[in-house]
Copies of this chain bind each other. A is one copy, B any other.
Amino acid sequence: MAKQSVDRTPAGQAIEDLIIEIVATFFLLRAEGMRIGVVSSSGEGYWSVLRLLKVNGAQTVPQIARYRYVPRQSVQKLANEMLKDGVIEFVNNPAHRRSKLMRLTPKGETVFAELSDRIALLSETLAAQKNVDQLQDAVDIVKQLHQQLRDMLNQ
């Protein structure tokens, strides 16, 4: 005897469609990101980590890994490369003696600005002739989904 299927609702099916599109779009964003040089061989998290440090301030490697739900070793490796590139530095963490904080250097600010500019150009191209209100509603929906998943994973 087959297991009972889940009862479907229009909203649930829309969320499923949204999930499918988000995953498919992620791969295309990665491909386009490679093309415009914001997803380097250093991995796709480079700009994201620069942005996280810029927007949220200095953080430790494990903090970033926990936030993104990736292994801390992955972030550590990225951090080592960023250090070598001179875009971050490790500074003392008042809250933790061993675990240093990653902080943007002036060069990191510059590199972040350059990469951001390419992403801005792409975004402006993609935004042509789109309805702003509808776009912002879509951003809200995906942000909600993001937060719900975070809550789900954290419980």
CB distance from A47 to the nearest CB of B (A): 10
Q: Is the CB of B120 within 8 A of A70?
A: no
Q: When A6-B120, A12-B123, A117-B6 are in contact, do A149 and B29 touch as well, CB less than 8 Å?
A: yes
Which of A3, A44, A142, A143 has the most B CB atoms < 10 Å from its CB?
Answer: A142
Q: Chain A contact residues (Cβ within 8 angstroms of B): what range?
A: 35 or more
C-alpha spacing A153/B130, complex, angstroms: 20
Q: Which residues of B contact A48 (CB under 8 A)?
A: 20, 23-24
- Residues from chain B with a CB closer than 8 A to the CB of A21 are 139, 142-143, 146
This protein's copies in its complex: 2
In contact, B139 and A137 (Cβ under 8 angstroms): no
**Which residues of A113-128 are within 8 A (CB) of B?**
114, 117, 119-121, 123-124, 126-128
The answer to whether the Cβ of A136 comes within 8 Å of any Cβ in the partner chain is yes
Check: A107 CB closer than 8 A to any chain B CB. no
Interface flags for A60-103 (1: CB within 8 Å of B; 0: not) read: 00000000111000000000000000000000000000000000
- For the complex with contacts A5-B120, A14-B138, A20-B48, 6 further pairs of A-B residues with Cβ separation under 8 Å are A6-B121, A12-B126, A24-B48, A27-B70, A135-B141, A138-B141
Closest 4 CB pairs of A and B: A12-B124, A14-B135, A31-B69, A11-B127
